[in-house]
Each structure stands twice: as structure tokens, then as C-alpha cells.
Chain A
Amino acid sequence: MKYKIRSIILIVLTVLAGYFLYASQVGTDGLAARFPFKLGLDLAGGSQLTYEADTSDIPESEVNDRLDSLRQVIEVRISRRLAAGALGVLEANIQQEQSVFASSPRMIVELPGVTDIEQAVEIIGTTPELDFRLVNENASEQATTTEEIFVTTGLTGRFIDRASVQFAGAGGSMQGVREPVVSLRFNKEGAKLFSEITKENIGKPLAIFLDGELKSAPVIRDEISNGEAVISGNFDIDEAKQLVADLNLGALPVPIELVSTQSIGPSLGKETTRADVVAGALGLGLIMLFLIFWYRLPGVVASVSLLGYVAIILVLFKLIPVTLTAAGIAGFILSVGMAVDANVIIFERIKEELRAGKKMKEAFDEGFSRAWSSIRDANISSLIIAVILFWFGTSLVKGFALTFGLGVIVSMITAITVTKAYLYAFAKEERGTVLNFLFGTGIPIISKWRREK
């Protein structure tokens, strides 16, 4: 009786989960519609840009902070374009990737909906790398390269709070002609650094480099403690405006280089999604047909619990949410095939116990308890693989590992709870021919033919 009630509750839950899935896919408003499937780039279309950050000049202790602010800067740039309506991005995803195998950390930027790579690259933009340097007094006479002549001060564009274009009156004979200059205001940290540098180097030139190019080298006249500086470097007005815009957006705190790009057209993604849905439904149908033909009543039970499994997983995909990629869907379809495994192990075990002449209830108890050790060990080994895959992961593989691992766990749980409840709901004390047939296996005609042979 206990199991009958439990079964009814489980069936109601499955139906509810199914309804939730239906409502969230078909409806456009309401609570359920707030949980769409989250599609990966390969299905939704979009571009992925991988940048390598050059951290060789950064002290180790600062690397993480810098990368963090790099991410923020890129985020700001993208969201600014978004606000301007220049992009069809739904939700950009920026990830920092540090791997033991790579010499430098990577920044992966995913822009769903942006299929034009040129546009995407432009969004991230080129780095206005602003850098203040001092003349190296120990440099030899033969020194020619900038690295030899100048030493970095640690003061860079990332300490800039705000930049603006101003017009400075040029002195001397050019009086009256107003030249555009870029005025900078450092943040607190930068102001302190700037004040220290200017205090210790009065009378010496402070070179200002933009993207590795010397812009100007004014001589320091006095300590500047208010955190303000001016770059005058023969800018024309447009140049100055562009530089100010880039600096305000946040100069990239770490130089980056585009090392890998990928763009997927939206049509290909749609086609893949549609095809995978068809394949999944068909696979599920075939598996259920096979189960019912071969395992009869337990097959029906397994099919119903398989539907429950699919519903639970899909709801989880929506709620967590799991980003679905083509590989992820493939992992899910594979897990549907494997989800049956626990059921098959249990049914085969029960069949053996029944053959040994045990009563139905006893056979069920034995079947479940004996099947458990193999189900447990087999699933642990699958989970080990899922974890390694997740770690191995490029985003594509991670998608697979996640759906596969989730599938393994949920399928194990459904097999030992849902299938169990349904099966026990059918358990009878006495065994009749009908029940014997229902709990047997094989296709009747073939079995008969084999027995006669």
C-alpha cells in the first residue's frame, strides 16, 4: 500500500514536471517562461574570442588582481555597447581561464548573437596601454632600445580615474593656437604613486608612453600631489577624443593578444538543435519500445520511470541552469541510453531470484539489494570520468561532462527510488501465470521456439 501511494505521488510529480517543461517552452509569460533552456554558442550562434594575457611584466602577487580588473574592463566595454544598442548580445560571458598547461592566463569572451567576428574584436578593442617611465641613468652610451633607455615606474593607465580633453594655450610664437591635450586624474593609489615619483625625480624628464610609443617627456618641475597630469603629444582633436574615450572605458590593465576565435552562424545552431531534439525523442521512443517488448511489465515500469528521469533532468537543466551545447545534448542522449542500465541490472537480478523459486516480495528485496553494489561501483567509475572531463574542459567538453555526470547521478537515484516504488506497487504475495508472464523476459514466440528446439 505504501508503495502504491508513493507511485501515485511520483507519477503526479512527473506529470507536473512535464507540464512545467511544456509551459516554459510554449508560453511567453508566466512563471515557467522565466526558465528557458540556456543554449551554448554552438546552438544559439555567436562568437567566442580567446585572449592571452601577457603577465610577464607583472609581479606574481598582482596577477590575479590585474586579471580581475581586466575582466571588469571588458565587461564594461561590452555593456556600454549594449546600452548603446549596437549589439544583439543577450548575455555576454567572460571567463578567466588559468590552466597548468598554458604559460599565460586566458580570457575567454563569449558573445551570443554576434556572428560578425570583426564587430566582436572591435568591441573588446585595442589596448591603449599608457605607461609612465623614467630615464635610466645607468644606461650605457650605446643604449638604443627604449627598454634600455627608460625604466618603468609601475604607474600605468590602470590607475587612471578619469581622463578628459582640454585645450592648452601654446606658448611663444604660436600664441593663440590652442592645442588639445589629454588631462588625467589618477585614482588614490595612482595619485600616491605619482606624487612619490615626481617628488624623487624633480628636474628629470618623465616619459609618457602610449602603446609603447613615446608621446611626450615633460620635465618634472615640482612634486605633484593632487593626482593630476596632462599629456600633450601633438594630438589632433579626434585622436585626443578617442584616447580619452578608451582611457575612461578603462585602459586594459594587462596587455592581451587574440589567440583564438570562433564564430557560429545562427542557422547552423538552429538546425543542430532541431535535429538533436528529433534524435533524442526518437532514441527515447526506441528504448521504451525495446524495454516493453523485452521486459514486459517491468519494461513498462522502466519506461515510465525513464520518462520521469528525462523530465527531472530537463527541469534541472532549466533551473540550474546548464548551458546546453551540441556535445551537452549528446551527453544527455547517451545518459538516457545508460540510465536504463540500472533498471536492467535490477530486473535481471529479480528474474534470477524468481527463477530460484522465491516469492515475489522476497525476490524484489533480494534483487534490489544485490544489484546495488554493481550499480554503485559502475556509477562511481562513470562519475570519476565525468569529473576528469569537467576539469579537462574547454567549454564544449564541460557541457558534455556536466550533462553526463548529472545524468549518471539522477539515473541512479531514479532507478533505486522511482523504479522501486512502481515495481513494488505491482508486487503480489501469490504468483499466478499472468504475473509470471508479466515478470518474465523475452519475446514469447522466440522463447517458445527456443524451448521446442
Chain B
Amino acid sequence: MPESAYALTDRPRAVDDVEIAAFDGEIVVFHVGPSVVHKLPGAIGAVWLMCDGETTVAELSPQLTELFGLADDDGTDLDQTVHSALTQLARNGLLAGQGVVATRVEDDVATRASDGSEIFVAPPDP
């Protein structure tokens, strides 16, 4: 088992303030707190879906195989895939208790006239 921030007995839990859309092995997640959209490909999405706070890290690999048909492939170790996925999910704030790294900060572009009224400023092009 490769080294990672997670022990085999840890029970990672996905954040729950999300809206999810799933398509053919990929998941699009809107994380409400930081207002960020994530696209989770293949195994990362599968790992994230299994992070229910009860399943241990050690149980994730067998469940990936059982539920999603994923297996060691082309020299890629499934345990390594799980730990890599957990690291990326935590880094992006999608696991509870890991904090949120990728936050969206709204720029305060409001300016004021001399009487205190807000002046509308044209938004930048997307």
C-alpha cells in the first residue's frame, strides 16, 4: 500500500453540500460552499462516491472492483489509484474535514458615488 495522508483504517467522507450530475463514468459536482464546479473523471469519481464515512480506505479498492468493475490495469495499482484519488479529492475540498483549498472569491467591484450610491460597473467578459 503506498503512503498517503490516509491510513487504511480511516473512513473518509464526502462533503454533502453538493449537487451532482453523473454521466457514463464521469461526475460533475457543484460544491455549494465555495461555489466551485468539479469534473471528476473515472476512478476519482468512483472513489468519491464511495466516501460515505463508513467505508474504510482498505475497503475502497475491493469495492471499486465490485461496484465499478475497476481492476489493476497496465501496471496501475488500484490501491495507488485510491490514494491518489483521495489526495486529489482532499486537495480540492471534496472530503469532509479537509478544509477547502479551491475557494471562489467574488471580487467586490462595487464603487460608490459621492452620495454613497452604488455605481454599476460593466462586468468583465467571461
Decide whether A and B assemble into one complex: no
B contact residues vs A (CB 8 Å cutoff): none
